[in-house]
Amino acid sequence: MVETAPVRLDSAKTTATTHPHRVVIVGGGFGGLYAAQSFKGSPVEVTLVDRRNFHLFQPLLYQVAIGGLSPGDIASPLRSVLKRQKNTQVLLGEMTDIDADQQVLHLKDGDTLPYDSLILATGSAHHYFGNDHWESLAPSIKTIEDALEVRRRIFLAFEKAELEPDPDIRAALLTFVVVGAGPTGVELAGAIADLAYNTLKKDFRSIDPTQTRIILVEGMDRVLPPFDPSLSKRAAEDLERLGIHVRTKTFVTALEEDKVTVKSGDAEETIRAHTVLWAAGVRASSLGKVVAEKTGAPSDRAGRIMVEPDFSVPNHPNIFVIGDLAHYAHQGERPLPGVAPVAMQGGKYVARVIRDRLNNQSTPAFTYTDSGSLAIIGRSSAVVDLNWIKFTGFSAWIIWALVHVMFLIEFDNKIIVMTQWMWNFFTRNQGARLITGRDVIKSDSAFMKQ
Amino acid sequence: MVETAPVRLDSAKTTATTHPHRVVIVGGGFGGLYAAQSFKGSPVEVTLVDRRNFHLFQPLLYQVAIGGLSPGDIASPLRSVLKRQKNTQVLLGEMTDIDADQQVLHLKDGDTLPYDSLILATGSAHHYFGNDHWESLAPSIKTIEDALEVRRRIFLAFEKAELEPDPDIRAALLTFVVVGAGPTGVELAGAIADLAYNTLKKDFRSIDPTQTRIILVEGMDRVLPPFDPSLSKRAAEDLERLGIHVRTKTFVTALEEDKVTVKSGDAEETIRAHTVLWAAGVRASSLGKVVAEKTGAPSDRAGRIMVEPDFSVPNHPNIFVIGDLAHYAHQGERPLPGVAPVAMQGGKYVARVIRDRLNNQSTPAFTYTDSGSLAIIGRSSAVVDLNWIKFTGFSAWIIWALVHVMFLIEFDNKIIVMTQWMWNFFTRNQGARLITGRDVIKSDSAFMKQ
């Protein structure tokens, strides 16, 4: 490959002869994308680097996993989102290293990318608390590929159960354990219940999907720990009413193929379950380590970078870390949570800091505006805590749906997702329950040999 | 695994004590699914076996490949389609062998499936005319995984071009060769043109997607050989107007990474092209060989089984072969073409033959009703030949769209696909252009090393 800088902004399109201030953003999630969009019209040259060519609306990823939505419904091509922003270049690439002295990023394939200001927003990965080998036994849902793999496991479990003559194995195939009762775990368990007890009810001839057992395991003393206790209580009732077995103060102590061992107090129990899904913990993306090493920044136990009040890295005022990769401890008693609004607001704020600096202006301190929390429970219930008002049930479900559709980046997706939801809601059908991937049957045959 | 027959129809649901006539159908494409649906309410026990858990609407698969539709939009879970048909069991499985004397099918994993009547409808695979190693260099579009792989290649080509400083390599990255100008090849080439010259027009900063070169190669003397020559002429004009280079009487003689050699008359030319897509030939699915061996049935050069006038296999009146797997030479001068209507009508016919036999009635001879051919060319033109009337242009495009939506199996999909199309049409946007699959960047890096 020819050794020249890979990023060539068309010279006809840049008016200044000396180059404008170069902002490089790594990661096109909520933090990175909102930062990029905040530079619209600014006299800077923005480069957004992502390993994927799309922005993913992660809050709805579990819907892909249970076959309610297709990947395309919740993803927007980054180029498409930013096509009209002339000062912004999108680049498919993976950051591998950073040279803070030379102000240069290193990408996979040997390319380099110089920056004047750098915004790192590479997000989080799932966390197995030292048991990384559990990942293949109990997948999480962080990427589209994860979601399609989980979808494959869920629907293959029903297919195998239909073929299985041994009642014990059949029961294990129809047992689903979700580890972690935060919003993702609650939403996933609720969606599986809805699938088994409604959508698939009449689809099989040998098995009865309403016999499916769904167990939601949580280490804390209540479901939805970040929410108000009254909402946790209501959520637990809704889950139980859906037919889900909720087990709080319970930890996973061992995981084997088709077996999960849980401990509650001193009591240990081994559950035979073919499908175990992980929604328990997150850590910073692997890039956190590189950033900490190369900038000397301190990081927390989850690998998140401890940032300054303006989201910059200590001693590197032109490097910013936002979103799930950042540990922001300058507001409230606890660090800001790893949720989309924190990333969005952080992204907008650092864009403002950079613009203000170029204008020799100072920027007021960052204040996180917490507009509340939402979680959906099954087909038509949700809990919503807007701080000034809390509500549950169907009205909460409507709010949840509106908020989620509103934040879909492209109008295109809003239309499709609304259409799809209305259809799924009224028919209790979910059309995207496809088992895909090569060698559908072969790849999971190890299970059949037990 | 316990050695019992895996298919256990719930005894409470079958009223007769002696088992009813067992019909086993292998393959849930147009032929198999229409056959299964024709048994609705009949006093037979139907088992539909497929390797996949969904029916795929193949005529729109190229839309998945170019990011216009999501896989879920054109696939319907077989269980969902047949859920209300109480006499029908759907089974995820792969047929590996057939014992025509014992009337038993063998499935992967060692299960067996007895039948009284058997309908084989496993369709076709792509055909590289003895050059099977070309498959990885020039993929075809037969499955959802194929379509997503082609989508990945198309969009990665643009991404790599954006990063590529060498003008020759960049030109190769922006060159697309489609081999075969039947309906699939024409539709695919037209869709790529629409993508490059409209949808992606403003998405990049270093490259100009309107510089994309699209070459459509056809061995015959005209595009769309099965159509009336006047329509072929019009289609070729439409393709050229879209910016596609049409080369008829041209054959591919060699294929290497990023290079395709074509021969026209005595002239041979090597084209540098990163993306080569295959739409040239089909052969019977690999099961054809097993059927021919085990039943002694003759097969044609493409591996299709030569069937009797009632679609049965010679000397095996209770084994039927329909759809793309069958060579039906009892009507017209040429065998019936491998298109959806032939499969659908064949499926309905053999269901009727089986029902009539059970009632000791004879069945009138099969007559294929050819209602015409359609092909779409780019965003707003098509050619339609309804035999009694031919038309082209936008009105043909409307007919094409209505016919395709009409034949989508589920009402669910009809709504979503219509919404998606209208949106794509009016905005020239295509939201599903996601590059997916693990290791997006790494997996294609061989090219960058050249």
Per-residue pLDDT of A130-180, as tens digits, reads: 888 899 999 999 999 999 999 999 999 999 999 999 999 999 999 999 999
Residue B367: inside a domain: no
**Closest residue in chain B to residue A45, using alpha carbons only:** B205
Domain hosting residue B341, numbered range:
19-51+93-126+283-358
Residue B8: inside a domain: no
What would the two tokens of residue A177 be? Answer: 């354990």
For the segment A372-401, the average pLDDT, to the nearest whole number, is 87
Q: Contact at 8 Å (CB) between A30 and A323?
A: yes
Residue B434: inside a domain: yes
Question: Which of A:375-394 have CB within 8 Å of B?
Answer: none
pLDDT for the residue A433:
79
The CATH number of residue B173's host domain is 3.50.50.100
**Closest residue in chain B to residue A95, using alpha carbons only:** B441
Number of Cβ pairs closer than 8 Å across A and B?
A: 201
A168 and A102 belong to one structural domain: no
- Using DSSP, state whether B287 is helix, strand or coil: helix
Best to test chain B binding among A92, A151, A427 (most B CBs inside 10 Å): A92
A387 and A261 belong to one structural domain: yes
Residue A82: inside a domain: no
Q: Contact at 8 Å (CB) between A290 and A152?
A: no
Check CB contact of A204 with chain B, cutoff 8 Å: yes
With a pLDDT cut of 90, the percent of chain A lying above it is 68
For the segment A222-245, the average pLDDT, to the nearest whole number, is 93
B144 and B176 belong to one structural domain: yes
* Residue of higher predicted confidence among A244 and B376: A244
Using a CB-CB distance cutoff of 8 angstroms, which residues of chain A are in contact with residue B420? 416
In 3D, which of B9, B11, B14, B41 has the Cα closest to residue A205? B9
**Closest residue in chain A to residue B47, using alpha carbons only:** A205
Residue B203: inside a domain: yes
- Is A187 annotated as catalytic? yes
Q: Contact at 8 Å (CB) between A137 and A256?
A: yes
Residue A63: inside a domain: no
Q: How confident is the model at residue B282 (pLDDT cuts 50, 70, 90)?
A: confident
Using a CB-CB distance cutoff of 8 angstroms, which residues of chain B are in contact with residue A53? 155, 159, 433-435, 440
B177 and B320 belong to one structural domain: no
Using a CB-CB distance cutoff of 8 angstroms, which residues of chain B are in contact with residue A79? 200, 203-204
Q: Contact at 8 Å (CB) between A295 and A120?
A: no
Question: Out of B108, B419, B437, whose CB is closest to A419?
Answer: B419
C-beta atoms of A445 and B203 within 8 A: no
- Using DSSP, state whether B245 is helix, strand or coil: strand
Report pLDDT digits (tens) over A175-226.
999 999 999 999 999 999 999 999 999 999 999 999 999 999 999 999 998 8
Query: Could you give the ipTM of this predicted complex?
Result: 0.84
Range in A94-108, A393-407, B6-20 the model is least confident about: B6-20
pLDDT for the residue B417:
80
Best to test chain B binding among A436, A443, A445 (most B CBs inside 10 Å): A436
B199 and B275 belong to one structural domain: yes
Q: How confident is the model at residue B156 (pLDDT cuts 50, 70, 90)?
A: very high
A272 and A408 belong to one structural domain: yes
- How many domains is chain B partitioned into structurally? 2
Residue B162: inside a domain: yes
Report pLDDT digits (tens) over A420-430.
777 777 776 67
CA distance readout (Å), A219 to A182, A187, A227, A339: 10, 17, 15, 20
B253 and B237 belong to one structural domain: yes
For the segment A93-122, the average pLDDT, to the nearest whole number, is 95
Q: Quick one: A118 exposed, middle or buried, by C-beta within 10 A (0-12, 13-18, 19+)?
A: buried
- Among residues B358, B391, B417, the one where a domain terminates is B358
A295 and A439 belong to one structural domain: no
- C-alpha span between B320 and B366 (Å, rounded): 13
Q: How confident is the model at residue B206 (pLDDT cuts 50, 70, 90)?
A: very high
A162 and A144 belong to one structural domain: yes
Range in A23-27, A213-217, B22-26, B399-403 the model is least confident about: B399-403
* Residue of higher predicted confidence among A436 and A309: A309
Check CB contact of B334 with chain A, cutoff 8 Å: no
Report pLDDT digits (tens) over A299-358.
999 999 999 999 999 999 999 999 999 999 999 889 999 999 999 999 999 999 999 999
B406 and B258 belong to one structural domain: yes
Q: Which residues contact A229 (CB under 8 A, 6 or more apart)?
A: A222
- C-alpha span between B437 and B155 (Å, rounded): 13
Q: How confident is the model at residue A388 (pLDDT cuts 50, 70, 90)?
A: confident
- Using DSSP, state whether A3 is helix, strand or coil: coil
Report pLDDT digits (tens) over B240-281.
999 999 999 999 999 999 999 999 999 999 999 999 999 998
Q: Contact at 8 Å (CB) between A140 and A278?
A: yes
- Among residues B329, B358, B387, the one where a domain terminates is B358
For the segment A350-370, the average pLDDT, to the nearest whole number, is 96
A266 and A290 belong to one structural domain: no
C-beta atoms of A165 and B429 within 8 A: no
Q: Contact at 8 Å (CB) between B412 and A426?
A: no
With a pLDDT cut of 70, the percent of chain A lying above it is 92
- Among residues B327, B358, B389, the one where a domain terminates is B358
Check CB contact of B11 with chain A, cutoff 8 Å: no
Range in A129-133, A354-358, B16-20, B223-227 the model is least confident about: B16-20
pLDDT for the residue A129:
84
Question: Which of B:48-87 have CB within 8 Å of A?
Answer: 51-54, 67, 69-73, 75-77, 79-80, 83-84
Using a CB-CB distance cutoff of 8 angstroms, which residues of chain B are in contact with residue A94? 441
The CATH number of residue A300's host domain is 3.50.50.60
pLDDT for the residue B438:
55
B275 and B424 belong to one structural domain: yes
- C-alpha span between B252 and A318 (Å, rounded): 55
Range in A113-117, B200-204, B363-367 the model is least confident about: B200-204
Report whether pLDDT(B195) > 50.
yes
Residue A332: inside a domain: yes
For the segment A4-14, the average pLDDT, to the nearest whole number, is 41
Distance from CA of A297 to the nearest CA of B (A): 29
Range in A28-42, B8-22, B78-92 the model is least confident about: B8-22
* Residue of higher predicted confidence among A257 and B446: A257
Using a CB-CB distance cutoff of 8 angstroms, which residues of chain A are in contact with residue B91? 162-163
